[in-house]
Structure 1
Amino acid sequence: MPRLGLRLALAPLFLAPVVLAEKPPTPEESRAALRLADPALTIELVAAEPDISAPVAMAWDEHGALYVVEMTDYPISPDGGRVKRLEDRDGDGRYERVTTFADGLHWPNGVLPWNGGILVTAAPDLVFFKDTNGDGRADVRTVMLTGFGEGNQQLRVNSPTWGMDNHIYLANGRSGGAVRRPGDPPARGVPIPRNDLRLEPTGVTALPVAGFSQFGLPRDDWGDRFPSWNTVPIRHVVLEASDLGLAADPRTVADILDMADGGRVYSIAPTQRRFNAETVAFFNATCGPTIERGGLLGDAYRGDALFCEPLTSLVQRRKLVPDGPTFIARRAPGEADREFLASTHAWFRPVNLANGPDGALYVADFCRAWVEHPDFVPEGQRKAVDFREGFEHGRIWRIAPRGSKPGEAARKPGTADTAGLVALLESPDGWHRDTAQRLLVERPDGKAAAPALRRLATTSIVPVARAHALWTLVGMDSLDDETLRATLRDPSPRVREQAARVVVRAGRAPLFAAELAAAADDADPRVRLRAVVALARLNTDAARDALARVAARDAESPWTAAAILGAIAASPAKFLDILATRQPDWLARPTEAQLGFLARLGAMIGPSPDPELVTAALGHAAAAPDRAAGFALLEGIAEGQARGPSRTFAWPTLEPAPLPLRQAVERLRRAAAAAARDAAAPLPARERAFAALLAARDPAARELIPVLVGAGQPATLQSAAARAVAAAGGPTLADVLLARWDDLALTTRRVLLGALSSSPALATRLLEAVAAKRLAASEIDPGTRDALRRLADPAFAKRLDEVLPAAAGADRRAVLAKYAPAVSAAAGDPARGRDLFAKNCQTCHARGGRGPKVGPDLLSVAGRPPADLLVAILDPSREVAPDGVAVVVATARGDMLTGLLVEETPTTLRLRRAEGLEDVIPRGDVEALRSTGRSLMPDGLEQNLSPADLVDLIAYLKSPEAPAPGP
């Protein structure tokens, strides 16, 4: 199924009639249409046209001046963007003095006060502006960095954010680029293909960081970043790639949105004038997120995530509930079926949020008829639409408790002396703390505050103030060991966590080995994770022992497990020795997560050219009290041997290993063969047993494949056996399984097709089975056909055209025209459509949270017109967002892997493909990587669906309460 949760450019033939928008509202009319879920809060206007127009970002400098970025040039007029400077001189909450601080900008979209001026993102540049003569207009204009990608104006670098660690963070925008200083040659650019960016405090050194955010990159009080996309409003950066070292399976960013409600939004606006005809009941155009850090709204809101939905005129709130080292973003109490802020007027276009100097929450209201971009509108109708309609409008709103006065918290850090700035670090308002820290780091005399900061870091009664003081000392290069040691023992786990981060940033891990070892036993999972990252800098048995203690406690967390594996990458065999001797339960009573950890640990030992290390690891596998632990280690070691540059032993004979070891491993392999067949054995043991046999190239693996694909076997074992055909089966076994096609479960068939399409030899057997009518051509789904056509073998390509003539080149408009009459005339049978969904769509799409999460959850499309769904299903590549484009990876082993590139680090690529399966590919194994430029969902679904079928499928998709098929 298609990427239905993202915007589609619809053909004029199927475009629903455009509903006329309401007329532009006056500010008073806008205010009257706004609804807050909490009656204790109120919303007030602080700025509007003609003072400002088309606001997309805002920030206050240390003197309380508000800088508003105006994208009046959106979406079609370059160099019309501006930055306005607003001042509220009488403290009444309205900004009465307005100057144009900078103009002639190229689609600006973000602003950050810095170094006496402001930084503005305006791709391809990051520009610094400063007013040196006090006239309210910048007379300094310096391009700090350039090379940011100039994609669609909605998808450009944005949201410069001051980090707690004194660095500046930028959201990628999803257009990438290669970032460099203006005077540097392009070859010196830092690529950011799927990364956000971090700048050193000087603003001239750029480094890619984890995350890939579209518009907005908020952080919380403790420096955690939360990237977002238009359909996924919040994620969490748990780790950086640098935290993971050489881990073979690095994980950095967590999807934390609680999907218990399917990702619903509750708009109260009337039907809106738009070409994006997707349902307004789900996330669609999320942007401008923030974490509530102001404090004025009260403790009930502190730390909550809020994000805008301009297409449906609302702002949603979620509670960030701790979940191990990350969070779950859940609906706020009392807002299960309503939004924090919504409007009954369609021209309310919230695009960004910010915490103000007074502790209130501020909303940037774009206030236009259109927020869609012409790129997503049929070409034939673009000229009939004024996409800038309303560009002269714009509002900034303030949300605060009823009765609060706008000027109550108008302290201005810019006029404070050094002692005053240190005192502001204890403010309940995050804006004051951040600004004070930034000024202390920037000011030439800031180091004079070091003694006071050391006292604050160790004696303040406010935990977050202690953390700010610590990082301010780091920014001044004035942090002493005594202060750092005290904060590593702080009563607050959040301060201890920050102290462990500082140890790493300052490069002082050897000086604090004892404290870091103690942190490995901390009661808080986030502290333990940071201890792991810091202990990775210590190549000692004491550090490895501490890491083993964390592993025994936190292997269930994929984040902590990945960090531990990265930490022991230099000496995995030593770590296994410690684990086996000091944490014996790992090998005696392992959990399922621990089995996975052992397999990955074995894979790190396997490539070693030292036969003694591999021998010792095999000895642990053979001697493990629990056979499943032995299977997992054997699997990893054998897989590592296959990937390593040297072959220590000849598998499966293991020569020239000592005879006793060979005999012990042979007994383990025989036990694995028996366990894999044993229906009474625990499923994790059976899975690890089969995987171990495959990795060890044991002939028993080939014999087990036909057994394990049987319909009575557990689904995971069936899939594993079907996948194994590519690695251990060969053409003859492919023939055996194809002869049993009618007896195979649907999921097993899908996985088998994926395996058979990975090489010309296996794919040829598939073609011959189709030619001999042992299975119907309609069984070969469009995705498999695409994969077959990517196999680089001329003889196979010729045979493929004979057996399965190409359909991808078919005129999509002609196909749509063929199916449109049936879709428009018939109602359809949802029950039959459910079965068609299971057969054709469920490889990639969940529905109502059930099923694989490759494409979007299709419960979100229930409100879309049938004609729109027809286009999305039969012409899925008409418009594809960057995250929906399929890539093809050719590996050194000869595999051709196709999927979505969901994570990219300096050491690995992570692909997600049908059935939600993932391939983690070391960069050293990648021979070629290319984008297809097309959706992962291929053309040609009409080969499997008649017009009547499609009518029934659409009827099922439009049944909002229908459960997904399958388990």
Structure 2
Amino acid sequence: MRYDSNAPRRACGVGLIGLVVAARAAFGDAPVVPEPLAPEAAVKTLKLIDPDLTITLVASEPDVSSPVAAAWDEDGRLFVAEMLDYPRGPASGKVRLLEDRDGDGRYERASTFAEGLNFPNGVLPWNGGVLVTAAPDILFLKDDDGDGRADTRRVVLTGFAEGNTQLRVNGLTWGADGWVYGANGRSDGVVRKPGDPDSAAVPLRFHDFRFRPDTGEIQTVSGFSQFGLPRDDWGRRFPSWNTIPIRHVVLEERTLARNPYLAESATVATILDPADGGRVFPLSPPPTTFNRESTTYFNASCGPTIYRGDLLGDVYRGNAFFGESLTNLVQRRILEHQGPTFLARRAEPDREFLASTDPYFRPVNTATGPDGALYVVDFYREMVEHPDFVPADLRESIEFRRWQNRGRIWRIARKGSTPAQPPRLGQADTGELVALLEHPNGWRRDTAQRLLTNRRDLAALPLLETLARTGATPLGRIHAAWTLDGLGTLDDAIVVGLLADASADVREAAAKLAAGRPGLVEAVATRADDPESRVRFQAAVVLGDSDAPRAVEALARIAARDAEDEWTRLAVLSGLRDTASPFLATLLTAHPEWLATATPGQARLLDATASILGARAIPDELKALAARLAPPAEGEGSAGRIALLLGLSDGLARANRSPRELANQAGFEKLGVLLDRAAETVGSAHANPTDRARALTLLARFRPDDAAALVPALLSADQPPAVQAAAAEAVVEVGSAPLAARIFESWETIPTAPRRAVLAAMIRSTPLAGRLVEAIEDDVVALSELTPAERESLRSSPDSEVAGRAAALLESRTPRDRAEVVARFQPVLSLTGDPGRGRELFVKNCRTCHQHRGDGYKVGPDLSGVASRPESALLKDVLDPNADVSPDLVAFTVLTKRGQTLSGLLVEETAASLKLRAAEGVEESILRSEIEAVRPSGRSLMPEGFEDALGEQGLADLIAFLKQP
């Protein structure tokens, strides 16, 4: 279906998605709009699942209006960013300053700290003032004369894109390393310090960022967050998204970029528990929406926090909380360690931590307060849909800013707890601040660390060193080390001690501190045998910076133990720039059995290591690898050897060398024996399907004629899916026109899945794409068998003749004027659709890129929630998919130096590679060294012409299926 800005970018800026309650033009008479509730009445609608917790109001209108973010300074003063100007201005945002002077938990004094701001959506205290995100700038605001109003207004950074007001820079957070981290907001930008030349600007494309507010230094970091970027006690970051409220940054891109031969780009893990699918359980009435995503799943999640306080109880410590502003609730997730990353498991199986029956409760942000309580920022508005996402004929009937003068901030704590007196840390002495580094409330630890670093008081050094060595709590010890590091005085000996700490979290954090300290290689290498996998993972990241034999040996031990873990495997590989050959020798000397019986993870590690060696193409290294490919003994397996040879051939191809040249090189004379064994494996119905698939790929590269003879039979219905998929890819590996002809001769006998795989493979091959176009012209292959993205790939072929023939085919059946097409198909709206037939059409045409109630692939928007969308709007979505395309949903075409044409969404980009996601969620990483050109199409992944595949009745059937409640 349609890839546009309407669904995936709902919960941004203010972190919200639309509730259209005045859509008279689409739904007839509008429903009666309930009146807003006064704060005293609204609190009665808020239901906490834990009876031992209580929620109270700490601030409301007129003291706060349209609040979207809140943060406390060292003296407990609360700064609130008010996005009064949402959604379209004029610029009239404010920062309000609230004070609780009597310590009763209510902020009875309020003043305007700054006004006239451009859609402010984030605030963070620093240096006696606050940093505020207000694209295109991050501002520093400070009250110099004590009157409660900012006298200083200075631009710290500028160049953040002013996209949709829901999609702007936000989420400032102090990192454990003393940098300020920020969420991209999905509008990107090219950012610099004012006065710096354009050449010093940093492009943010698809990245979050960090900066130093005192110097303006800025760097991109892994992750791409929409609204909110929290961290936990140990400095781990958790990017957010409206439909994926929490992910985890496992690797930094700079770690992967250190190895230019590594064709991998994964840095962020999706950690939501797949067992629940992201369900939400609201108490409020179902909203009417115009987006395509289900309101029974995450739709408008925003403002996440990792709870780091002490007033809710130990069971909540380290839990993730995030608002679901569309469905009026706050969900809780428990973060469970799973190797180097986490599983975010639902805390309550079928209810929510906090839910409201009030449809105007808009929890857009959450935070841990100075008192250790959990705070919820409530935007409290009727309309939160951005006008851009509402059909034009409805916009005039909707008052988008109604109730913009309301807003609440709520406090959640354990019953019986009394509000703490506001902290007065601004006047605390050095000893008091160092002692606070052991406080159970993360807010106090962070604030003490920030103040100590800013003061640069040398009297703190002996106290910090003592705490780092002998502190009573793990968090106290590591906070002391972080503070010393921020002061530039952290001694290697302290890090060595922390690497041996009793706490795995401390050891993991200490390994991060060891990065860039070459004298600590030996100490870090001892962590290769750490009992905790996340510590071994972090050790691998650090050891990859060293070429020392001790580091290589330790990496081999980590790889041997953790080969099945994808993140540890990637961390190890990222460090094998110049040491891949000694690493492989060390690994296989200790584990020669891998050559015969490699597990899936071991095979992938061998494959990737050999690929690095092939890409380096250094003769001595290739000769050493050849020794590992010696023919196996009679009866011995060959899975590891085949993996090595596959990886080697990949790497050689990236180095623009034909793998077939190996047969003529010294050391590879007996390669034929291994290829004979591969042929036997392919033909063995009793062999493991994965081994058969690998063996077939190997044959296709080294004995293409032999592979071509086998491929047609391996596409048949009696073959395992892994073998069918490998056979489809072998068509391109072989690159033979006669093989393509043989496949098309038996096209109707090939099952759907391998047939789809063959089409996808041929389209990527410039030589074979012409054969495919010919088959379509001859009506052997139906145009409707191609996905819309595949049609676009043919149209974009680097072979001008193929592109022209494909364009002629498509244009002969696809009118250019989409408005005319939409008008011509209006009679569809008067037809009676059959939902059953519509489901069949969805499965055939849509599920490769869309999910509907759990069925399908989530490449484009989830269509589970479009039942409330008008039929006329759905019809236009299908027929005119390029009317409004979000920048991050534009299809890209990548041309490689090997003549491949790849198309899909650009989902990840590093200095060394990029990753495309195409139909069926298939992702492919491509090294930049392989890329000839990258071309944004300016169009969605779903191009025009769907009416050809569906027809009028088919469109009516599909709409009827999607409209089912």
Fold shared by both chains (TM-score > 0.5)? yes
- The answer for the alignment partner of 1:880 in structure 2 is 885
1:899 match: secondary structure: strand
2:757 match: secondary structure: helix
Of 714-723 and 840-849, deviating more is 840-849
- The answer for the alignment partner of 2:302 in structure 1 is 287
Query: Aligned partner of 1:666: which letter?
Result: G
1:887 match: secondary structure: strand
Matched, 1:185 2:197: yes
CA contact 1:266–1:337 (8 Å) conserved in 2: yes
The whole-number CA distance in structure 1 between the counterparts of 2:631 and 2:148 is 76
Offset, 1:810: 4.5
2:934 match: secondary structure: strand
Matched, 1:312 2:338: no
The whole-number CA distance in structure 2 between the counterparts of 1:789 and 1:777 is 13
1:593-613 deviation line (CA, Å, top 9, x unaligned): 211111111110013343221
Q: What does residue range 727-746 of structure 1 map to in structure 2 within 5 Å? A: 727-746=733-752
CA contact 2:370–2:444 (8 Å) conserved in 1: yes
CA contact 1:46–1:94 (8 Å) conserved in 2: yes
Query: Aligned partner of 2:380: which letter?
Result: C
Matched, 1:352 2:358: no
The whole-number CA distance in structure 2 between the counterparts of 1:149 and 1:309 is 25
The whole-number CA distance in structure 2 between the counterparts of 1:706 and 1:265 is 47
- The answer for the alignment partner of 1:539 in structure 2 is 547
1:417-448 deviation line (CA, Å, top 9, x unaligned): 11000111111111001000110100132x31
- Compared with structure 1, are the counterparts of its residues 847 and 373 closer, same or farther at alpha carbon in structure 2 (3 Å cutoff)? closer
CA contact 1:7–1:276 (8 Å) conserved in 2: no
Offset, 1:820: 5.6
The whole-number CA distance in structure 2 between the counterparts of 1:391 and 1:13 is 22
Q: What does residue range 409-424 of structure 1 map to in structure 2 within 5 Å? A: 410-424=422-436
1:800 match: secondary structure: helix
Percent identity between matched residues is: 50
Matched, 1:713 2:726: no
Query: Aligned partner of 1:471: which letter?
Result: W
1:310-350 deviation line (CA, Å, top 9, x unaligned): 12211111111111111111111xx2222211111121111
Q: What does residue range 70-469 of structure 1 map to in structure 2 within 5 Å? A: 70-200=82-212, 202-244=214-256, 245-246=258-259, 247-272=262-287, 275-276=290-291, 279-332=294-347, 335-407=348-420, 410-445=422-457, 447-469=458-480
Query: Aligned partner of 1:348: which letter?
Result: F
The correspondence for 1:758, drawn from 749, 759, 764, is 764
1:944 match: secondary structure: helix
Structure 2: tracts of 5 or more residues without a match: 11-17
CA contact 1:634–1:696 (8 Å) conserved in 2: no
- The answer for the alignment partner of 1:590 in structure 2 is 598
- The answer for the alignment partner of 1:492 in structure 2 is 503
Query: Aligned partner of 1:119: which letter?
Result: L
CA contact 2:362–2:379 (8 Å) conserved in 1: yes
Matched, 1:844 2:849: yes
- Compared with structure 1, are the counterparts of its residues 16 and 338 closer, same or farther at alpha carbon in structure 2 (3 Å cutoff)? farther
Offset, 1:744: 1.4
CA contact 2:70–2:377 (8 Å) conserved in 1: yes
The whole-number CA distance in structure 2 between the counterparts of 1:115 and 1:676 is 67
- Compared with structure 1, are the counterparts of its residues 686 and 457 closer, same or farther at alpha carbon in structure 2 (3 Å cutoff)? same
Q: What does residue range 473-872 of structure 1 map to in structure 2 within 5 Å? A: 473-504=484-515, 507-508=516-517, 510-623=518-631, 626-644=637-655, 647=657, 651-652=659-660, 654=662, 656-658=664-666, 661-696=667-702, 698-807=704-813, 809-816=815-822, 822=828, 826=832, 828-830=834-836, 832-847=837-852, 849=854, 851-859=856-864, 861=866, 869-872=874-877
Structure 1: tracts of 5 or more residues without a match: 961-967
The correspondence for 1:898, drawn from 879, 882, 903, is 903
Of 320-329 and 455-464, deviating more is 455-464
The whole-number CA distance in structure 2 between the counterparts of 1:222 and 1:820 is 57
The whole-number CA distance in structure 2 between the counterparts of 1:732 and 1:14 is 58
CA contact 1:65–1:85 (8 Å) conserved in 2: yes
1:230 match: secondary structure: coil
1:16-48 deviation line (CA, Å, top 9, x unaligned): 455443222211122122111212111111111
- Compared with structure 1, are the counterparts of its residues 912 and 821 closer, same or farther at alpha carbon in structure 2 (3 Å cutoff)? same
Offset, 1:404: 1.6
The whole-number CA distance in structure 2 between the counterparts of 1:806 and 1:162 is 57
CA contact 1:844–1:914 (8 Å) conserved in 2: yes
The whole-number CA distance in structure 2 between the counterparts of 1:657 and 1:259 is 49
| TM value normalised by structure 2 | 0.94
Query: Aligned partner of 2:266: which letter?
Result: R
Query: Aligned partner of 2:692: which letter?
Result: R
Query: Aligned partner of 1:43: which letter?
Result: I
The whole-number CA distance in structure 1 between the counterparts of 2:815 and 2:273 is 40
1:266-306 deviation line (CA, Å, top 9, x unaligned): 22223446544754212111111111111211112111111
CA contact 2:292–2:866 (8 Å) conserved in 1: no
CA contact 1:262–1:859 (8 Å) conserved in 2: no
CA contact 2:631–2:673 (8 Å) conserved in 1: no
The whole-number CA distance in structure 1 between the counterparts of 2:106 and 2:202 is 42
The whole-number CA distance in structure 2 between the counterparts of 1:910 and 1:797 is 24
- Compared with structure 1, are the counterparts of its residues 452 and 498 closer, same or farther at alpha carbon in structure 2 (3 Å cutoff)? same
The whole-number CA distance in structure 2 between the counterparts of 1:806 and 1:353 is 54
2:639 match: secondary structure: helix
Q: Paired residues, what number?
A: 947
The whole-number CA distance in structure 2 between the counterparts of 1:581 and 1:682 is 26
- The answer for the alignment partner of 1:920 in structure 2 is 925
The whole-number CA distance in structure 2 between the counterparts of 1:782 and 1:480 is 59
The whole-number CA distance in structure 1 between the counterparts of 2:557 and 2:845 is 46
- The answer for the alignment partner of 2:15 in structure 1 is none
The whole-number CA distance in structure 2 between the counterparts of 1:944 and 1:390 is 46
Offset, 1:898: 0.7
Offset, 1:746: 1.2
Of 914-923 and 126-135, deviating more is 914-923
- Compared with structure 1, are the counterparts of its residues 231 and 878 closer, same or farther at alpha carbon in structure 2 (3 Å cutoff)? farther
CA contact 2:291–2:869 (8 Å) conserved in 1: no
1:783-821 deviation line (CA, Å, top 9, x unaligned): 322211111444334433554435555544554556565
The whole-number CA distance in structure 1 between the counterparts of 2:903 and 2:829 is 32
Query: Aligned partner of 1:394: which letter?
Result: G
Offset, 1:471: 0.5
CA contact 1:874–1:940 (8 Å) conserved in 2: yes
The whole-number CA distance in structure 1 between the counterparts of 2:889 and 2:449 is 40
CA contact 1:639–1:695 (8 Å) conserved in 2: no
- Compared with structure 1, are the counterparts of its residues 264 and 226 closer, same or farther at alpha carbon in structure 2 (3 Å cutoff)? same
1:214 match: secondary structure: coil
- Compared with structure 1, are the counterparts of its residues 601 and 20 closer, same or farther at alpha carbon in structure 2 (3 Å cutoff)? farther
Offset, 1:163: 0.5
Offset, 1:156: 0.7
CA contact 1:111–1:160 (8 Å) conserved in 2: yes
2:266 match: secondary structure: coil
- Compared with structure 1, are the counterparts of its residues 712 and 171 closer, same or farther at alpha carbon in structure 2 (3 Å cutoff)? same
2:396 match: secondary structure: helix
Matched, 1:910 2:897: no
1:645-700 deviation line (CA, Å, top 9, x unaligned): 5x4xx642535423xx3332111111112212222111121122122223436432
Q: What is the RMSD computed on CA atoms of the aligned residues? A: 2.4
CA contact 2:701–2:734 (8 Å) conserved in 1: no
The whole-number CA distance in structure 2 between the counterparts of 1:367 and 1:502 is 43
Offset, 1:541: 2.1
